Chains A and B, each alone.
Chain A
Amino acid sequence: MTEYAEYVLEKEQIDLMLEKGYAIKEVKENLSGAFVTFEKGKDDSDILHIKTADGRKYFSNLLFHQK
């Protein structure tokens, strides 16, 4: 799979979470990439592991431009 194809998958996962009503609650970045915590309400949360550079740029843009 090309890196672009990996990115497209990650983007789809992020968009799906947002469509479901989740919001980005927390971002932890380390040697493995970014771990983005999505939260809906108080008890419902999920974590996406974003590995590609474009994927990390994508959620950053969402945060930055919708702040």
Chain B
Amino acid sequence: MADLRTSLAGIESPNPFWLASAPPTNSGYQVQRAFEAGWGGAVWKTLGEPILNVTSRFAAVSFNGQRVAGFNNIELITDRPLEVNLKEIYETKKRFPNHAVVASLMVEPKQEKWHEIVKKVEEVGVDGLELNFGCPHGMAERGMGSASGQVPELVEKQTYWAKEAAQTPVIVKLTPNITDITSTAEAAVRGGADAVSMINTINSLAGVDLDSWNTIPHVGGKGAHGGYCGPAVKPIALNMVGECARHPRINVPISGMGGVSNWQNAVEFMLMGASNVQVCTAAMHHGFRIVEDMIDGMNNYLDEKGIASVRDLVGQSVPKYSDWGNLDLNYKIVARINNDVCINCNKCHIACEDTSHQCIDMLQDGHGNAYLEVREEDCVGCNLCSIVCPVDGAIDMVEIESEHPPMTWNERQAILSGVQDGKANTVK
């Protein structure tokens, strides 16, 4: 059995699966239930001045029968007094000393406010702090959450203030509601962050009711934007983790989150550079015991791969992630249809003919039987036919050997710059 223990900036955990700061970590009762189920750590629902919430708070996007493909919420940070949360954190940590208990924090962007809450929270024995610079609704209007997380200078300054008082590792949680997340991640590093975590939720409106014309969710007929999470945001989160992991000046560990729903997603985030993962929506959808499948699946995967420790996954795919300009223009794949598997639904033909490169022909054999065939010389290898194909194994994307060695766009532009003024680099 593989070693699932992880360390995020020195915060030890029996496995890489943490609950993210959110409704599932609102109380000691919940976090202790989660630890009993097997979660390795929990980031306590954000502590700060207790707020007032509204009803209703959540909405989900279902897509083609999949419930909770995306999840939207307008709930704010904790609505309970700090002392109540601290008492429960103390009790939880006492009962589960080997599990990671991290406190999420959000206060006004003032030095004394950060010092005050950091000291109070650390007194009860938390393993680390996560600064919430990402919550996109409610708190942002008060200058906190994503409002300060979108300004690199504020991220740096507040991280610095928290670090001035902190004895435990400081994780900075970043908002995705920004053009380039590496700019705020870098600011966090400049401020002294021991780790960064991403992504918080994405500004969203789940929908509009076609009968009442109310927003979804609405509060007495009025709506406001919320934060989007769940499986739909995973590709966005994975990219942001990868961008930070490959950035030379973001040299701190990353806690990855955003749509992590199973062990496979966790492996992906860790391969792209996350030292562990945080989960919320999947737990809200299926309950705390989904972590059992995550642990079993991760264990089996590592054993099958012959990998001794989950830590050995971290960042393995990062060197494979680059900029478009570094991709090989001469690499070529084409589609091949396996006619013994194909059911002749013609979806690939329609997709290619209508929206791609018109290279799948509908033909008939000598007996009048219809079949589909790719004109490989016209195929650009876009993958669309294999994406829309409903039958596994009916379409393969196969590599075609290039007559030329690799050449990237950047390399092409460099060589062309020499002949754009007619000066040099002639070829015979």
Chain A residues near B (Cβ < 8 Å)? 2-4, 18, 21, 23-29, 37, 39, 57, 60-67
Contact = CB atoms under 8 A, between A and B. Distances in A.
A52 to B, nearest CB: 11
Contacts of B411: 64
Contact of A18 (B329, B404, B421, B428): B428
Contacts of B55: none
A24 B326 CA distance: 25
Contacts of A65: 404-405, 407
Contact of B415 (A4, A26, A37, A60): A60
B407 A60 contact: yes
B419 A60 contact: no
A24 B424 CA distance: 9
B378 A61 contact: no
A27 B419 contact: yes
B421 A26 contact: yes
Given A18-B428, A63-B425, A25 B419 contact: yes
Contact of A64 (B377, B412, B420): B412
Contacts of A60: 329, 407, 412, 415-416
Interface of B: 329-330, 357, 375, 377-378, 404-405, 407, 411-412, 415-416, 419-422, 425-428
Mostly, the B contact residues are: loop
A27 B416 contact: yes
A67 B420 contact: no
Say whether chain A's binding surface is mostly helix, strand, loop, or mixed.
mixed
B182 to A, nearest CB: 31
Contacts of B378: 2-4
Contacts of B407: 60-61, 64-65
B330 A63 contact: no
Nearest to B414: A64
Contact of A28 (B329, B420, B425, B426): B420
Given A27-B420, A39-B426, A60-B412, 7 more contacts: A23-B427, A25-B419, A26-B419, A62-B427, A64-B407, A64-B412, A66-B427
A48 B263 CA distance: 55
Given A4-B378, A28-B420, A23 B426 contact: yes
A3 B372 CA distance: 20
A54 B420 CA distance: 19
B380 to A, nearest CB: 9
A37 B427 contact: no
Nearest to A2: B378
Contacts of A67: 415, 425, 427
A25 B426 contact: yes
19 contacts: A2-B375, A24-B427, A25-B426, A26-B419, A26-B420, A27-B416, A27-B419, A27-B420, A28-B420, A37-B422, A60-B329, A60-B412, A61-B330, A61-B404, A61-B407, A63-B425, A64-B407, A65-B407, A67-B415
